[in-house]
Amino acid sequence: MDAPTISPSIVLLSLARRIEIELAEALADLGLTVSRFGLLGHITGVPGVSFSDLARMSGITVQSVHAAVKSLAAAGLVRDNTARAGAASAIELTEEGRRIMDAAMRSVSKVDERLFGTDADPSQQQIGATVHATFGAGR
């Protein structure tokens, strides 16, 4: 019987699940889920983003984005700067949202260090280095 073939897709899917679990635990203390963190990240990157653009970036429906943004607004993390009814929305972080995102990014950095840093499994260190080389600053 031949040895099983290593599937990069399966290996990366397994690693992605581990990352998601670690991030979920790290973000829970801030009252965030990985999905809410992702939405806040998109809003941070594109201040004044519309609901439809946010839905496209997040890969979810506009209706789901409306519900999520309503929840984030109720938590005081974002605001919709719509000038008038019927006008395009302009969603942005509040001061509290920026504070939470800063804390969330510190938590993400700790997860990155734990999973891909100097004390991590050498194969995961290599994956981290490859990600930085491929998608790092200046690209």
Quick one: tokens of 80?
Answer: 């919709």
- Is residue 117 domain-resident? yes
Task: Tell me the CATH number at 48.
Answer: 1.10.10.10
Of 73, 78, 114, residue with least CA distance to 95: 78
- Is residue 1 domain-resident? no
- Is residue 93 domain-resident? yes
- Write the pLDDT tens digit of every residue in 97-115: 999 999 999 999 999 999 9
Quick one: tokens of 13?
Answer: 């899917």
CA 113 to chain centre: 17
- Write the pLDDT tens digit of every residue in 18-31: 999 999 999 999 99
Q: What type of residue is 127? A: I
How many angstroms separate the CA atoms of 67 and 59, rounded?
A: 14
- Is residue 2 domain-resident? no
Per-residue exposure over 98-112, b if at least 16 CB sit within 10 Å of its own CB, e if not? eebbeebeebbeebb
How many angstroms separate the CA atoms of 42 and 49, rounded?
A: 8
- Is residue 51 domain-resident? yes
What 3-state DSSP class applies to 67? helix
Asked whether the predicted pLDDT for residue 124 surpasses 90, the reply is: yes
- How many domains does the chain contain in total? 1
Domain that holds residue 21: 8-135
- Is residue 3 domain-resident? no
- Is residue 87 domain-resident? yes
Asked whether the predicted pLDDT for residue 44 surpasses 80, the reply is: yes
% of residues, the chain, pLDDT over 70? 92
- Is residue 116 domain-resident? yes
How many angstroms separate the CA atoms of 139 and 134, rounded?
A: 8
How many angstroms separate the CA atoms of 84 and 92, rounded?
A: 16
